[in-house]
Amino acid sequence: MSEMVAPVLFAERAGDPSGTPSRLLSRLFGGLVAGVVAIVAVFAWIVVSRENAAGRAELQVHLKQTGTLVAELLAPTLASGDSAAVARMADVARPLGLRITVVAVDGRVLADSSADAAKMENHLDRPEIRAALRTGVGEARRASATTGEHQLYYAVAVVRDGALHGVLRIAGSDADLAPREASLLHTLEAGLTALVIAVLCMGFVFMRGIEQKFRREKDLLVERHRLYEELKANEAALVTKERRLSEAQDIARLGSWTWDVRTNAVTWSDSLYRMFDIEPGTIAPTFDTYMSFVHPDELTFISDALGEALRSKEPFEYDQRIVRRDGTVRVVHARGEVLTDADGTPTMLVGTALDVTERALAEDAQRRSEERFQLAMRATNDALWDWVPGTNVIWLSDAFYTLFGHRRAEMMLTFDARIALMHPEDREAVAARVDDFLRSDAAVLTCEYRIRRADGAYAWVSDRAYAVRDGQNQPLRMIGSMMDITVRKAADRMKSDFVSFVSHQLRTPLSGMNWMLELASEASGLPDEARSYIAEARESAERLGGLVNDLLDVSRLESGRLVLTLEDVHLEAVTRSVIDEARALIAERGHRITVESRNPSASVHVDAQLMRQAIANLVSNAIKYTPAGGTIQVIITRENGQQQWTVIDSGIGIPKPAQAQLFDKFFRADNAVAMVTEGTGLGLHLVRLIVEQFGGTVWCDSEEGQGTKFSFAVPVAEVV
Amino acid sequence: MTERKKSILLVEDDRFLRRACEVSLTRLGFEVTSANDGEEGLRLATSEPFDLILLDLLMPKKPGIEVLAELRAAGPPNANVPVMILSNSSREEDKRRVVGLGAIGYYVKANLSLKALGDEIQKLFS
């Protein structure tokens, strides 16, 4: 069907409906027209010629007859030699429309009906005259020398009594023929023109007719072809759609089914087969087959549901479990509609089944997770909160309200409201710490603050929050738990007070011992032995005093109730002073100690006494834990907007495992204990408490057996 | 002619400390009078003139801070006498209160040697 005949003649592109006749046909037609015209022209010429010839023949006869007659009439006149009479006779011919010329035997024109004979030349050379002189008659046809018109000449010898007296020539003009010829010609011309025009028109019409016919044919063919292609495309599309539907059903785990209620015939889509984990088409789908897959616990339910659907003819849907051949259980969401005939009798059930097992599992898991969360929330005493930084909205768990006695309805759940509940002395500090935390990249923030309870009293709270950050460390969300530590705080305070109290109490007998031993050491006449015992007793007492002092300092720093006197403290000056105080010990151990300050005016705004204590502890450690003849360097620099103080010794170093606990209360590394048996384990803890009090950090680098480097850094900016 | 010895009133409830102090200061050439508690201390301070009072804080019957306050309010002979606090408390609030009452020094006994005490007193009198 793809072959088309007509278009071969029409050299247009397929699908172009406005075909124009090809050159071939044009040429063909042109040739035809030309041929016709030629034939007609030839024919016309033949006709005209024949007419002319016939006309001429007639004239010739006419001339002959007239000439003969006139010659006879003229004979006597001419013989008489009366020129005037001859001329008169010649004039007679004029009305006849003929021209008469009388020529003498020598060729002189004696008379002419059209012209002046005297002016005419000798006519002897004229062929018809010569012929007449010779034979008695002559004919010629030519253009007249005199008038220029084509003439037919008939010459007759005038004979009287056997004597030649002259020639009578009689001429008839072709021009007489001309009208006849002309009209004939005109007629022919007209006819020809008409014919040509007619033929052209016919041809044009014919052409158009052919063209249209061809075009129609072609259009039909094109249309047929197009429809055919469309049909093919539609078929292909349909196949594709069916395939896609099947694929989509598979992807969606959606199967479709029909059940003819009358015949009990059941159809399953491929994806429904697969839902049951069966190769499509390998088993015959029947209602019973379906029921065999239904979970045993739900058989009754399904039967009832379908029965109800048939009865009510309403669309239905339900969730059910199916059990595959291999025993796996899937959760399926089935929907269906009831089709009825004209009477309303159910004819078919059609519907879909969607495998929702994953979703069901997920929902289940989520429910359990939610349950767990709720239980956990109730199990914990803590108040949980959830806040999106930048907004004022904060979610608070029920525990918040029970812990602090507020009523949910009375509280505005805003971040600001919670800040407002805090103790006025704590608000600013907490807000500032939250701001710093948000801007940092830290994950966890722990704050302690007081929060007002419904009864007006303040509870101490330890708030530990976790921040979820995006790729640029922007905080997206903060979740925290608030633990009521009022009791712990009170206990701590009591402990602190206790420690404080006891320390003070211990000092009294301690001072007594110190002073008595001091007096004793000054007593005269003291045996050397006794003197040495007293000296060592004094040393011992001094250590006890140091321990008590440290305990007191730790207790005060931990209680947070220490009142600091802030002033600009020059680290180099304090360091040199500390070293100066310890010069006896340094000399005794033979250490070489240097202080290098890379910016001598380095100062920090801190409590002088505490700063001195921290430096003293670090220097003292360096001295104590370095074997005799060691080197100790103190370096003071400025790094990243902080004052950094470092002491490097060539001492025994600190084992790696111990380094993690170095700053813990009462911790002493084993090698330190081995070297210096007495020691409280409070020195470094105190250093850390002091440095952190000033907003700084302390750290340590050490290789066991090679030496130790302790550094702390304190912000130069004012510390609150 | 011997210069009159400087007189020091020592108010201290612990007898060991009292004795040690008396011995040490007497050796240095001071005239030392001791009181065992705050009441006695105040009584002595408001009856006899002294050149210096060494005052403990934690004492029975009357704490040192009260003694000082009342002393300052009492008038002659010792209303304006220099007072050194010899205490074993490091509590800031104690220090602040005594400074407010015009004590010229605050020392923690456990951290102070008798020699240092003597030096401080001699510095005061020179």
**Neighbouring C-beta atoms of residue A534, cutoff 10 Å:** 19
What CA–CA distance (Å, rounded) separates A598 from A608? 21
pLDDT tens-digit map of A217-262: 888 898 999 999 999 989 998 988 888 888 888 788 788 999 998 8
What is residue A9's predicted lDDT score, i.e. its pLDDT?
Answer: 43
pLDDT of residue A10: 41
pLDDT at A532: 93
Distance CA B73, CA B60 (A): 21
Task: Report pLDDT for A666.
Answer: 83
Q: Which of A83-87, A320-324, A530-534, A598-602 has the lowest mean pLDDT?
A: A598-602
pLDDT tens profile A411-420: 657 888 888 8
pLDDT exceeds cutoff 50 at B104: yes
* Distance of alpha carbon A197 from alpha carbon A190, whole angstroms: 10
Say which amino acid occupies B57: L
- pLDDT mean over A647-669: 88
Residue A634 predicted with pLDDT over 90: yes
pLDDT in tens, A20-29: 556 677 777 7
Q: Are B88 and A515 within 8 A, CB to CB?
A: no
Lowest average pLDDT, out of A386-390, A605-609, A616-620, A713-717, goes to A713-717
| Residue B105 phi, psi (nearest 5) | -165, 155
pLDDT at A40 > cutoff 90: no
Residues of B in contact with A557 (CB under 8 A): none
In angstroms, rounded to a whole number, what is the distance separating the alpha carbons of residues A391 and A223? 68
Count A/B contacts: CB-CB distance under 8 Å.
Answer: 59
Model pLDDT for residues A72-84, shown as the tens digit of each residue: 887 888 777 787 8
Is residue A16's pLDDT more than 80? Answer: no
Is a pLDDT exceeding 60 seen at residue A17?
no
- The band of B100, judged by pLDDT with boundaries at 50, 70 and 90, is confident
**d(C-alpha B9, C-alpha A719), whole Å:** 43
Tell me whether residues A514 and B110 touch, CB distance under 8 A.
yes
- Interchain contact, A545 vs B109, CB within 8 Å: no
Of A383-387, A676-680, B106-110, the least confident? A676-680
More confident residue, A374 or A149: A374
Residues A511, B92: C-beta atoms closer than 8 Å: no
pTM greater than 0.90 (yes/no): no
Q: Which amino acid is at B26?
A: T
The percent of residues in chain A predicted with pLDDT above 70, rounded, is: 93
Q: Which residue has the higher pLDDT, A398 or A4?
A: A398
User: Which pLDDT value is given to residue A283?
Assistant: 86
Q: Cα-Cα-Cα-Cα dihedral of A194, A199, A200, A201, to 10°?
A: 90
Q: What is the pLDDT of residues B1-53, one digit of tens each?
A: 567 889 999 999 999 999 999 999 999 999 999 999 999 999 999 899 999 99
Residue pLDDT, tens place only, A573-612: 999 999 998 888 899 889 999 999 887 677 788 888 889 9
Among A431, A409, A413, residue whose Cα is nearest residue A422: A431
Of A516, A549, A562, the CB nearest to B20: A516
pLDDT in tens, A389-442: 888 888 888 888 888 888 876 665 788 888 888 999 888 888 888 888 888 877
Nearest to A507 among B93, B110, B113 (CB): B110
- In the predicted model, what is the mean pLDDT of residues A617-629? 92
Contacts of B108 in chain A (CB under 8 A): 507
The mean per-residue pLDDT over the stretch A501-516 comes to 89
SS3 label, residue A631: strand
Note the pLDDT tens digit of each residue in A552-564: 888 877 776 666 7
SS3 content of chain B, % helix, strand, coil (to 5): 45, 20, 35
Residue of A nearest to B113 (CA): A515
Question: In this predicted model, which residue has the larger pLDDT, A47 or B13?
Answer: B13
Residue B97 is which amino acid? R
Token duo for residue B115: 């020699």
**pLDDT for res B18:** 94
Whether A417 contacts A411, CB under 8 Å: yes
Contact between B90 and A556 using a beta-carbon 8 Å cutoff: yes
- The pLDDT confidence band at residue A2, using thresholds 50, 70 and 90, is very low
Confidence bin at A489 (pLDDT 50/70/90): confident
Distance (Å, whole) CA A88 – CA A240 = 116
Helix (H, G, I), strand (E, B) or coil at A508: helix
Stretch A129-158: mean pLDDT: 83
**Helix/strand/coil percent split, chain A, to 5:** 50, 25, 25
Instruction: List pLDDT tens digits, range A171-206.
Output: 877 655 556 666 766 777 777 778 778 878 887 888
| pLDDT per position as a tens digit, A264-283 | 889 998 888 888 888 888 88
Which residues are within 8 A (CB) of A624 and not within 5 positions of it... i.e. 6 or more apart? A675, A676
Q: Which long-range contacts (CB under 8 A, 24 or more apart) does A359-368 make?
A: A359/A331, A360/A319, A360/A331, A361/A331
- A13 pLDDT higher than 50: no
Residues of B in contact with A556 (CB under 8 A): 90
Q: For residue B99, what are its two tokens? A: 């400074």
Helix and strand counts by DSSP (H, E) for chain A: 20, 22
Please report the pLDDT score of residue B50 as a whole number: 92
Mark out chain B residues that contact chain A at CB-CB < 8 A: 14, 16-17, 20-21, 23-24, 58, 88-93, 108-115
CB B10 within 8 A of CB B33: yes
pLDDT in tens, B39-48: 999 999 989 9
Residue A720 pLDDT greater than 50, yes or no: no
What is the pLDDT at residue A438?
A: 87
Rounded to whole angstroms, how far apart are CA atoms A30 and A27?
5
User: Which is higher by pLDDT, A446 or A15?
Assistant: A446
Interface of A with B (CB under 8 A): 500, 504, 507-512, 514-516, 518-519, 545, 548-549, 552, 556, 562-563
Mean per-residue pLDDT, A276-303 = 87
